[in-house]
Amino acid sequence: MKLLIKQALVVDPQSAFNGKKVDILIQNGIISKIGTVNDSSVDQTITSPGLCISPGWVDSFAHFADPGFEQKETLQTGALAAAAGGYTDVLIIPNTNPVIHNKAGVEYILHKSQHLPATIHPIGAITKNNEGKELAEMYDMSANGAIAFSDGLKCVQSSGLLIKALQYVKAVDAVVIQLPDDHHINPSGLVNEGITSTQLGLPGKPSIGEELVIARDIALCAYAESKLHLTGLSTATSIDLLRNSKKAGNNVSCSVTPYHLYFCDEDLVNYDTNLKVNPPLRTTNDRKQLQQALADGVIDCIASHHLPHESDSKKVEFENAQYGMIGLETAYAVTNSCVKGLTPERTVELLAINPRKIFGLPIPTIQENEKIRFTLFDPTISWTPTEVNTKSQSKNSPFLGLKLTGKVVGTLHPNAITLNT
């Protein structure tokens, strides 16, 4: 296929064309020319008013539910959703059945996903069966393609186990990912503890359950001199803890979800089960502080926390609904819509450059003779996500029907070129 991209702003700090508007000709999956291109023989031409091109985006925390829960998502539908959302690479969590906790689990993911339109990187479980009792086969998983380790939706509660994991990943130059949540502090909490939880008559989940784990994990990481990534941060105090950790020189990075930037607990007034998430939506001040930290550079990445559920898991009473929402296809648009002054350069740091550095993935450069692994996006386009256009197998999103600004134009991956209409 011969593809011509017209007048795209290059957003790539490694490229000699960074900050310039250029034409880019792609032939057979390789950039053949950059500059001014006039070629009438191309198969397709891509134009857009505010078109940008960057290294391919990476999502560091998504659930593809395969194997074991294919009624929610499969590797194929998850990859289609990722490509539609601008992601060339996705790290998937191990909360499957069976759990990705050994060599066989990693090999299953890599073999089944090798021809998909986005590269899928398995995250190996820290503990066997995600039970938090004994370490999984981390060395074997790393040797066979796991690029990070986490119990995914289940935060490791044992300090002893976590410090062993942090020490272990040093030998394989990997990263431990934690979703900070102390399971012993009001485990029945459903929404953020505060005025809104009282008004709704729902049990509250206090923010200290998140903040205690963050403080502990930062201390353990410093002791082990290892690498830790904390995901799903949702409170102002959590941000302060990360800010101080970075000042101290600890190798701790962090990510936030688009929905914690967009919504707050006051949006739960209608008991929308698509807004039942963990960590829960916090206060308006927490949301404001997250947005500010994103602009200030304290936050390293955006993580979709893509968590698909069939309708039967969501169309129930709030108390009985499953946690989570899909998010790969709307992550960029949601973030761009709610964070004021978000530049294309900062967007690319959050979605491409930083996650690639943190998890040791190569950073593709926009230059001639480079194989494609790029994302096309336009910050100026407004659009409305719909269920019909959603590629994910599940449709549990509160953003369907909402007007958003910032759209992914396409994803250029070695296996496939995905263009959004």
Report residue 50: phi and psi, to 5°.
-115, 35
Domain-wise residue ranges, the chain: 2-52+367-419, 55-358
Helix locations, 85-231, DSSP H: 103-112, 138-143, 159-172, 195-200, 208-224
Q: Quick check: 136 and 105 in contact, CB under 8 A? A: no
Cα–Cα distance, 385 to 403 (Å, whole number): 7
How many C-beta neighbours within 10 Å does residue 229 have?
A: 25
Q: Which of 396, 270, 353 is nearest to 56 (CA)?
A: 353
Query: pTM of the entire structure?
Result: 0.97
Report residue 9: phi and psi, to 5°.
-75, 120
Output the CA–CA distances (angstroms, integers) from residue 62 to 125, 169, 192, 288, 327, in the order listed: 14, 21, 23, 24, 9
Cα–Cα distance, 201 to 213 (Å, whole number): 27
Single-letter residue type at 283:
T
- Determine how β-strand 301-302 pairs with β-strand 374-383: unpaired
Name the region of 152 (left: φ>0; alpha: ψ -120 to 50; beta: rest).
left
pLDDT for the residue numbered 40: 86
- Nearest-Å Rg of the Cα atoms of the chain is 21
Q: Quick check: 378 and 333 in contact, CB under 8 A? A: no
* Parts of the chain with a pLDDT under 70: none
**Could you tell me the end-to-end alpha-carbon distance of the chain, in angstroms, rounded to an integer?**
18
Is domain 55-358 given the CATH code 3.40.50.300 in the classification?
A: no
Longest dimension (CA), the chain: 65
Classified as helix, coil or strand, 51 is coil
DSSP 257-296: -HHHHH--GGGGGG--GGG--SSPP--HHHHHHHHHHHHH
Relative orientation angle of helices 208-224 and 236-247, to the nearest 10 degrees = 10
What HEC string does 295-353 produce?
HHCCCCEECCCECCCCHHHCCCCHHHCCCCECCCCCHHHHHHHHCCCCCHHHHHHHHHH
What are 61's two structure tokens? 């925390």
Options 2.30.40.10, 3.40.50.970, 2.30.110.10, 2.40.100.20; which CATH number does 2-52+367-419 get? 2.30.40.10
pLDDT for the residue numbered 68: 97
